[in-house]
Amino acid sequence: MKKEPITGKIHSFESFGTVDGPGVRFVVFMQGCAFRCLYCHNPDTFDLNHAAYELTPLEVLQKMQKFMPYYKHGGITVSGGEPLLQPQFVKELFRICKAEGIHTAIDTAGCYLGDDVKEALNHTDLVLLDVKCIDPTIHLALTRKPLQPTLDFANYLSEQRIPTWIRYVLVPGFTDSDDLIERHAQFVSGLTNVTKVEILPFHKMGSIKYETLGLEYALKETIPPSEERIENAKNIYRNKGIEVN
């Protein structure tokens, strides 16, 4: 009996990404996410069954190849949604990319750590890990998911020495207090593999998508953080010897 090829449910592509890993990158936005972050700017990726594309890893690589000269100092990043909802696809895509000498990165909330995920990480050069909030109660209110799986994922990456950038979204009223940032920075400073932290200021650029989808945007009255609060957050990490974007 012929084995069916692995396919991935994909939302969209970005051919010249510059904010999802080093260099210029081909970004694959996977469909589906178990998190429901209040500030998410991609709510159209939530439902796994609403993919715009269903492609094999080889078909994705073929889409990338015509731009390959631009990725000499970059590579491919799989984002989402939550790409590790589809770990077998990610594993196979990264396996063939590594065979072509392409740098691989994954942007994840780190909520899954089964054997398939570990196998995908074996072909991953860099993880962009979103640790949304270090307080379990606030994390649950912000994402509707528990914090501990993400901490376990971060510790696994540290044990395996997989290079990691930590991403922290600065959301006024949720994650912007000095105490929370200090606790977050303290956790990050205990990891062996983190090369830098990226502070991502909250914004409302995705709010129009919620209107289109008929969803309530819970943070519509929230004002983005000031430059002063952003710099304050960066300095908390720097004071612990952590490089910040």
**What CATH number is attached to the domain comprising 53?**
3.20.20.70
Burial category of 120 from C-beta neighbours within 10 Å (exposed 0-12, middle 13-18, buried 19 and up)? buried
Give the range of the structural domain holding residue 33, as residue numbers without chain letter: 8-238
44 within domain boundaries:
yes
Q: How many domains does the chain have?
A: 1
Q: Is residue 2 part of a domain?
A: no
Q: Is residue 245 part of a domain?
A: no
pLDDT number for residue 120: 98
Cβ(162)–Cβ(193) below 8 Å: yes
Residue 83 included in any domain: yes
User: Which of 235, 234, 164, 158 has its CA nearest to residue 194?
Assistant: 164
What does the pLDDT read at residue 206?
84
Per-residue pLDDT, 157: 98
Provide the pLDDT for residue 61.
Answer: 97
Sites in the chain below the pLDDT cut of 70: 1-2
Report pLDDT for 4. 79
Tell me the whole-structure pTM to 2 decimals: 0.95
Q: What is the pLDDT of residue 43?
A: 94
Determine the pLDDT at residue 3: 74
Task: Evaluate whether residue 13 is within a structural domain.
Answer: yes
Q: Say if 243 falls within a structural domain.
A: no
In a domain, 1, yes or no: no
Residue 94 lies in a domain: yes
